[in-house]
Amino acid sequence: MEKEYSEIITANRDETFELGEKLGKEAVAGEVYCLSGDLGAGKTVFSQGFAKGLGIGSDVTSPTFTIMCVYEDGRLPLYHFDMYRLSDGSELEAIGAEEYFYGKGVCLIEWPENIKGYLPEDIIRINIDKDPEKGEEYRNIYITKSKK
């Protein structure tokens, strides 16, 4: 399988939001987006833009305590996960996550490294890195997408 790779630099919150929005507009059912990056990198900002791109009107916040939030008022259902509090994937079985990973909607997963062995094979990876040398608000965003 071929990989499509791109790098984007954002200079502020709004640019990351807009990148999320663009990808949300292009998203297709069954896709799983894994969002990596330190605390405060911008994963939730990206997710909020992504939700808007899907046409979701409700407020998107980090589902840190609930693990997952479902938004069904957009073009496709959005399953937003935050695995921050999980130590491995076994807890996922309890919430039936597999059903969402291979479902009719789009998944956004924050802190995917916490559930490594449980992720689907075909995922889109988005890494958000701060770039303090450039400036406080700069982010380097790397997107790796499998191309069939």
Point out which residues bind ligand ADP (CB under 6 A). Answer: 10, 12-13, 15-16, 37, 39-45, 62, 137, 139
Q: Which residue has the tokens 């191309």?
A: 147
| Binding partner at 77 among Mg ion, ligand ADP, none, C-beta below 5 to 8 Å by kind | none
Rounded-to-integer distance, Cα 55 and Cα 85, Å: 28
How far apart, in whole angstroms, are the C-alpha atoms of residue 24 and residue 27?
A: 5
Q: Do residues 7 and 141 make contact, with C-beta atoms less than 8 angstroms apart?
A: yes
Residues forming beta bridges with residue 70, ordered by sequence position = 79
Q: Which is nearer to Mg ion, 43 or 125 (CB)?
A: 43
- The verdict on 52 binding Mg ion (CB under 5 A) reads no
The site partner of 139 among ligand ADP, Mg ion, none (C-beta below 5 to 8 Å per kind) is ligand ADP
DSSP β-bridge partners for residue 124: 33
Nearer to ligand ADP, 50 or 100 (CB): 50
Question: Considering the complex, what minimum distance in angstroms separates the CB of residue 15 from ligand ADP?
Answer: 6
